[in-house]
């Protein structure tokens, strides 16, 4: 078995958990690739394992890799999506952050997670991605996102007007700070923060949610993810923000933008007991009444 380990960066306490993970994987004779900056940051922990193979970019990951382990929060896991791309490498997220909707395995579950990987007793959830098309090159060779695509005004700009179309048919004009098109997976992210609905990950839908709309009757709308959603932006400012997950670019208001379902999926690893419902109850404290 061969796995890779990725993280944006860990603190000293989290480095101890990295050492424990390396120890567990080595105990099962697992071949390990490790993100090069992480290898350098924790040379004391990693120096005990001379067989570790460093990697830096997506092309360094072999297509037959059994799993990529993401150490961090949901943002770190979103980074891994740009690494695995269409290679169908399963991604296991270990939560070192706060909420952890995507990185659903706690650091206390590292031993059981490694055992599940080795014995292949885990479950793979296939998650839809959203793809961005534009008449100018944007986001290099990774024009896709797991959570959402967003249009947003710049910090000091007045609100923008976004005309949205479904398969070329006019949907609505949004006077707002911005507009989000979220995948079902991303419905618990930025979309939820803007009062958008929560969708089950397998619901095959996108959610279109305005950010701070200037119309009281404007609400989120859920559409099938086989639609192509296109946009025209009006603004007194010449530039606005175009974002895919945590990545963003500043673009001209005359640019042509459209989003659609990506042709490939991301494969997320979860332990059998970690269902979406249990995640909602735990992370959002559903079913808990502090009056009792």
* Residue 79 annotated in active site: no
Alpha-helix runs per DSSP H in 212-283: 276-283
CB 186 within 8 A of CB 146: yes
CB 48 within 8 A of CB 26: no
CB contact set of 62 (below 8 Å; sequence gap of 6+): 2
CB-based burial of residue 187 (10 Å sphere; 0-12 exposed, 13-18 middle, 19+ buried)? buried
Q: Which of 81, 75, 208 is nearest to 149 (CA)?
A: 208
Within the chain, residue ranges assigned H as helices are 12-27, 36-41, 43-46, 74-84, 110-119, 190-193, 276-283
pLDDT score at 89: 95
CB 96 within 8 A of CB 107: yes
Distance CA 163, CA 172 (A): 6
Domains and CATH numbers, the chain: 2-122+271-283 (3.40.50.10330), 129-263 (2.60.200.30)
Radius of gyration over every alpha carbon of the chain, rounded to an integer in angstroms:
20
Question: pLDDT tens digits for the chain (292 residues)?
Answer: 999 999 988 887 788 888 899 999 999 999 999 999 988 888 877 888 889 999 999 999 998 899 999 999 899 999 999 999 999 999 999 988 777 788 878 888 899 999 999 999 999 999 999 999 999 999 999 999 999 999 999 987 789 999 999 999 999 999 999 999 999 999 999 999 999 999 999 999 999 999 999 988 899 999 999 999 999 999 898 999 999 998 999 999 999 999 999 999 999 998 877 788 878 887 787 877 666 5
Q: Give the pLDDT score at 291.
A: 67
SS3 64: coil
Do the beta carbons of residue 250 and residue 136 sit within 8 Å? no
pLDDT, position 290:
67
The dihedral over CA atoms of 209, 211, 215, 217, expressed in degrees to the nearest 10, equals: 30
Residue 64, classified by CB atoms within 10 Å of its CB into exposed (0-12), middle (13-18) or buried (19+), is: exposed
Whether the Cβ atoms of residue 35 and residue 56 lie closer than 8 Å to each other: yes
Give the span between the Cα atoms of 33 and 21, in whole angstroms.
13
Selecting among 74, 79, 177, 245, the annotated active-site residue is: 74
Note the Cα 238 to chain centre separation in Å: 29
């Amino acid at each position: 078995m061969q796995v890779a380990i990725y993280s944006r960066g860990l603190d000293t306490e989290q480095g101890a958990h990295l050492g424990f993970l390396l120890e567990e994987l080595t105990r099962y004779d697992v071949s390990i690739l490790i993100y090069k900056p992480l290898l350098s940051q924790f040379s004391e922990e990693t120096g005990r394992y001379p067989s570790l193979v460093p990697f830096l970019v997506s092309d360094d990951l072999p297509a037959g890799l059994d799993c990529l382990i993401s150490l961090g929060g949901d943002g770190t896991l979103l980074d891994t999506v740009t690494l695995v791309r269409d290679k169908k490498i399963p991604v296991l997220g270990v939560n070192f952050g706060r909420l952890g909707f995507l990185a659903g395995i706690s650091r206390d579950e590292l031993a059981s997670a490694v055992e599940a990987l080795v014995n292949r007793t885990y479950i793979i959830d296939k998650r839809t991605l959203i793809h961005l098309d534009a008449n100018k090159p944007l986001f290099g060779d990774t024009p896709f996102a797991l959570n959402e695509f967003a249009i947003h005004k710049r910090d000091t700009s007045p609100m923008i007007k976004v005309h949205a179309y479904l398969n070329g048919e006019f949907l609505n004009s949004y006077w707002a700070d911005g507009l989000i098109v979220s995948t079902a997976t991303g419905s618990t992210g930025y979309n939820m923060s803007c009062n958008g609905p929560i969708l089950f990950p397998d619901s095959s839908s996108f959610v279109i949610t305005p950010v701070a709309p200037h119309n009281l009757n404007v609400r989120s709308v859920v559409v099938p993810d086989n639609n192509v959603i296109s946009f025209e932006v009006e603004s007194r400012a010449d530039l606005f923000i175009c974002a895919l997950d945590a990545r963003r670019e500043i673009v001209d208001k005359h640019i042509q933008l459209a989003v659609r379902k990506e042709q490939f999926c991301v494969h997320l690893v979860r332990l059998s007991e970690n269902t979406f419902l249990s995640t909602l109850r735990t992370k959002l404290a559903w079913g808990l009444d502090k009056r009792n």
